Structure 1
């Protein structure tokens, strides 16, 4: 059996205020074409199908069109819910969808009940929030997600009867998270140990947005789109797994990147004029400005050259002094008006206060001194 492992579609997510739906449609159409070309039997979607527990109508339209396309391409679909999904909404009418070859596994109590497709058993472990499920299993200690997933996997191992695939949405030990994975708590409380996944032929994980191989049979596929500049260098795609040949028989399938992400660094003048940045004109751009003082209206100016500039950070290449520890030394012999004038010179790139500003500063300092004297 040929399985395409994908996850974290996040239908409905925005990218710095821009809708990602058009780009995601393009990528999911490419995924559907790959399913037809590679004669894939099952598409496994390991959670975070939607970006919100209350997805928009347009987001549902994207999912409906994609699922229909996958079925037309000859594949059946198995999916589970992630921490961004509403399990009840995603699983609504699951029984009717199953009749059409689309299996939506979101019910916690059915984690050890397999869906059998052509001799291979598929188990779905939705995102397990311990505080929401422990009342179902009073005899179990379910304080962390590691406890919850380990408990679910014990039930699955007891139910194993042949070739098997598990879908799980969690944070497994041995993988590095980026800035877009949510619900990963400090102290490792929600880190699931690799030993929890012993047993099945293949474990299709979701939650981490970059691809990762934790073992030949335990992998993250990552998201089909870049949802953060931290992901810019990570490929987008999915794992093609041949269960009949063993989980080691895997192949990475690349998906298109509708708009590349680039991080560019330099002074504002360099970013606006230097030829070496020509290749980034049509990318999503995160600009890091190294000017000594923050340029005025920098974003608007950058967008004249880079229409898709999305973020701006000011990191001066040179700063006056060598840190906060010396600030008191630099100002201890100066008067309050001199300190304020120095601050204005710094933020303005050399221009100190005007005569009118000097008078205003003197008035404010004088009022403050009078108030303190009267106290």
Structure 2
């Protein structure tokens, strides 16, 4: 059996006012083409079809066109909601999407059996997918924190809740079938892409799942949520395919992909990364004022999107800098200043908040070495005498 695993489309994304949906449409057309050329039996989409809970019409049209293309090729798909999606919106569309071969799991249910999805291949094989959409505990933990509860217990409760669903989903696996998990979540050990849209925060919060919690009965865990392609865990094999284009400058330089999973009942899965070529390349250029023009001239053949960071002395006014950059590179989406503080300002800032004794100790270390206990005592006595004298004269 051959299954194509993808995730994190983020249709409707804009980057500093620049609409990325045309690039996402191009990437989805490429993915649908790969599904046909690789003769896959099913496509798994592990969440975040949209970038917002209320996506624009062209974003919806882009997603629906993708699924219609799969329908025309006779390829069924299974989809879960991610944290950027509106679960209720996807749930409301599930009946219509079902007519074109899309099985949607939008929200966790009290009965995990309702989150099992099945595909019968043309060759007579059966695919069972335990599909777990995004399950957020953040609001609950925040409320508990405000109320003074033991937040550590709530964080552990999240893992216990995930354990419940994962265990129940695994109970629906069938001998003689290919059994997979699909979830939109953060696994321990996941590496962020450096995204400037807050993904780093998501990876450092406490709402994570250990790869050890994934039931070994699954032959593959199709993950979504993290935009950097990576493998986590080996039993079962768990993978993030990553986002389908470089969504922001934090993802600049990353190679995007989908995962082709080859698997048969009772055997370990084999995963092949298939590179994607769609989407503009994103790049950040850092330069000083005197090297800016040369750096931009060197990018004359670059047709991607650019962010320019200019180093300049703190407090420097640079009127017309953005126009200067745009004249040379119209595709620059951002021009930022990286203020460089002079040495006196840096030293003054480093002294802020230090006591007189701490300042003296730092001065002594810089000029003469470690401050001895005897000399420290003399300084304290002198400081106290000065303070008392000042108080008497007040």
Please show how residues 201-350 of structure 1 align to structure 2 within 5 Å: 201-216=219-234, 217-244=237-264, 246-274=267-295, 277-279=298-300, 281-292=302-313, 293-315=316-338, 319-326=341-348
Structure 2: give runs of 5+ residues left out of the alignment: 121-125, 142-152, 352-394
Equivalent pair of 2:8/2:227 in contact (CA under 8 Å)? yes
Task: Note the alpha carbon deviations across 1:321-375, whole angstroms, 9 max, x for none.
Answer: 254433699xxxxxxxxxxxxxxxxxxxxxxxxxxxxxxxxxxxxxxxxxxxxxx
Q: Which moved more, 1:215-224 or 1:318-327?
A: 318-327
Indicate how the Cα distance of structure 1 residues 181 and 102 shifts in structure 2: closer, same or farther if over 3 A, else same.
farther
Residue 153 of structure 1 corresponds to 166
Residues 322, 282 of structure 1: alpha-carbon distance in 2 compared, 3 angstrom cutoff: farther
Change over 3 Å in CA distance of 1:185–1:63 after alignment to 2: closer
2:4 aligned with 1:10, yes or no?
A: no
**Structure 2 residue aligned with 1:339:** none
Contact map agreement 1:112 1:152 (CA 8 A) in 2: no
Query: How far is the alpha carbon of 1:276 from its aligned partner?
Result: 6.0
Partner residue of 2:80? 80
Distance apart, 1:76 and its partner CA = 0.9
State yes or no: 1:97 paired with 2:101: no
Greater CA drift, 102-111 or 204-213: 102-111
SS in 2 for 1:112: helix
Distance verdict in 2 for CA 1:186–1:95, change over 3 Å: closer
Instruction: Kindly indicate whether the alpha-carbon contact (under 8 Å) linking 1:222 and 1:236 is maintained by their aligned counterparts in 2.
Output: yes
Q: Find the aligned partners of 1:265 and 1:107 in 2 and give their Cα distance.
A: 44
For 1:191 and 1:324, the matched residues in 2 are separated by: 39
Change (3 A) 1:76 1:301: same
TM-score in terms of structure 2 length:
0.74
Deviation track 1:281-326 (CA, whole Å, cap 9, x = no partner) reads 422111121233453221121111111112223235x642254433
Shift of 1:36: 1.0
The residue number in structure 2 matching 1:115 is 117
**Matched pairs, number:** 322
Structure 1 CA distance, aligned partners of 2:26 and 2:203? Answer: 36
Of 84-93 and 41-50, the range deviating more from structure 2 = 84-93
- Residue 238 (structure 1) shift: 0.8
Distance in 2 (CA, whole Å) between partners of 1:77 and 1:205 is 15
Match of 1:126 among 133, 142, 147: 133
Looking at structure 2, the residues matched to 156 and 306 of structure 1 have their Cα atoms a distance apart, in angstroms, of 52
Higher mean displacement: 109-118 or 254-263: 109-118
Structure 2: distance between partners of 1:131 and 1:320: 42
How do residues 32-111 of structure 1 correspond to structure 2 at under 5 angstroms? 32-109=32-109, 111=112
Residues 91 and 184 of structure 1, relative CA distance in 2, 3 Å threshold:
farther
Equivalent in 173, 177, 183 of residue 188 of structure 2: 173
Q: Do the aligned residues in 2 keep the contact of 1:225 with 1:257 (CA within 8 Å)?
A: yes
Contact 2:12–2:20 (Cα < 8 Å) also in 1: yes
Cα 1:12–1:41 shift into 2, 3 Å: same
Cα distance change, pair 183–49 in 1 and its aligned pair in 2 (3 A): farther
Structure 1: stretches of 5+ with no match in the other structure: 135-140, 330-375
TM-score of the superposed pair, with normalisation by structure 1: 0.78
Take 1:296 and 1:133, find their aligned partners in 2: how far apart are those partners? 47
1:193 aligned to 205, 210, 223, which one?
A: 210
The 3 A distance-change label for structure 1 pair 263 and 132 is closer
Deviations along 1:40-74, whole A, 9 cap, x unmatched? Answer: 11110001111111122222111111100112223
SS across alignment from 2:318:
coil
Q: Contact 1:146–1:189 (CA<8 Å) still a contact in 2?
A: no
TM-superposed deviation, 1:30:
0.8
Q: Secondary structure at the match of 2:129?
A: strand
Measured in 2, the distance between the counterparts of 1:105 and 1:7 equals 14
What is the CA–CA distance in structure 2 between the aligned matches of 1:326 and 1:132, rounded to whole Å?
A: 41
Tell me by how many angstroms 1:133 deviates: 9.9
